[in-house]
Amino acid sequence: MTDEAWRVHEVSASLAIHVTRSMPALPDEVEAAVSALWDAAQARTGGRLFNGRVFSADAIAPGRVTGHWTEFRRVVAQMERPDLFAALGVRPLAVNGVMVGADFVLLGRRPEGAVYQPGEWQVPPAGSIDPGCAEGDAIDPVRQLHAELHEELGMPPGSVRAPRVLAIVEHPGSHVCDLGIAVETDWPEAAIRAAHAARGNGEYGTLAFVPHAGLPTFLARNEGRVTRQAPAFLARAGLLAG
């Protein structure tokens, strides 16, 4: 896939996200394909996948995203077979946190067994938007980011501040839409490593605390092993030139 195929949606600081419709029913043949692909993915991952509800974007504009709750198994099926997008139409929205410390930017290595971008470096914490961050039909992506922060890194919400939405990057095949959110932290590397080791869920086997000036070198050294959305978020956070 070409770089141009990765679509960047610009968003405003006041971005609002709302649920505006119910999950549509599927034709029998599509439902059967989804079930078969889900069963195969479960077999590969030892049954670790959970078919929870995640938010799928129907329309993305700079100030407003609207969509519906969908099943994670539909997302997995579309990842496995991108041609199903015509029938499923899911664009799962996930948060990606760009954590900026006084002298570092945090990156984490995704598990090799992940269904999305396995083994690649990404900006953590990250995760699909689920109903836990909703109040009525309104969705708070920063609340989701805080939940992922605690789950993946073992850090409390108060350990980060100044959330700033950056952009949404849409994967051309799976149509996963990653929403970048920059946050600042006063926690030093040692405290984050200790929290991750004591309370993290194992989502990242390796963490990298990259000096601000060392980001271009890190990205070049790991070319092909960094999620494609990460450089876009780092640039919009003012951490990369251009």
- For 129-179, write each residue's pLDDT tens digit: 999 999 999 999 999 999 999 999 999 999 999 999 999 999 998 999 999
Work out the pLDDT band at 234, boundaries 50, 70, 90. very high
Domain range enclosing 106? 3-236
CB atoms under 10 Å from CB of 11, counted, come to 21
CA–CA dist 211, 102 (Å, integer): 9
> Considering the domain boundaries, does residue 242 fall inside one?
no
Question: Domain count of the chain?
Answer: 1
- Please tell me the number of Cα atoms within 13 Å of 184 on its side-chain side: 9
Task: Retrieve residue 50's tokens.
Answer: 């959970």
Overall average pLDDT of the 25-40 stretch: 97
Q: For 43-52, 69-78, 95-104, 132-141, which range has the lowest pLDDT when averaged over its residues? A: 43-52
Work out the pLDDT band at 32, boundaries 50, 70, 90. very high
> Considering the domain boundaries, does residue 241 fall inside one?
no
- The pTM of this model reads 0.94
DSSP designation for 174: T
CATH number of domain containing 48 = 3.90.79.10
- For the chain, percent of residues with pLDDT exceeding 90: 89
Overall average pLDDT of the 69-98 stretch: 96
What pLDDT is stored for residue 1 in this prediction? 35
What pLDDT is stored for residue 128 in this prediction? 95
> Considering the domain boundaries, does residue 53 fall inside one?
yes
- At residue 3, does pLDDT exceed 80? no
Average pLDDT, the chain: 94
103 touches 212 (CB < 8 A): yes
> Considering the domain boundaries, does residue 203 fall inside one?
yes
- Determine whether 102 is exposed, middle or buried from the number of CB atoms within 10 Å of its CB (0-12, 13-18, 19+): exposed
Work out the pLDDT band at 115, boundaries 50, 70, 90. low
Overall average pLDDT of the 89-103 stretch: 97
SS3 94: strand
Distance of CA 162 to the CA centre of its chain: 19
What pLDDT is stored for residue 184 in this prediction? 98
What pLDDT is stored for residue 2 in this prediction? 40
Amino acid at 127: G
- At residue 117, does pLDDT exceed 80? no
What pLDDT is stored for residue 197 in this prediction? 96
Overall average pLDDT of the 90-118 stretch: 90
What pLDDT is stored for residue 151 in this prediction? 96
- At residue 35, does pLDDT exceed 80? yes
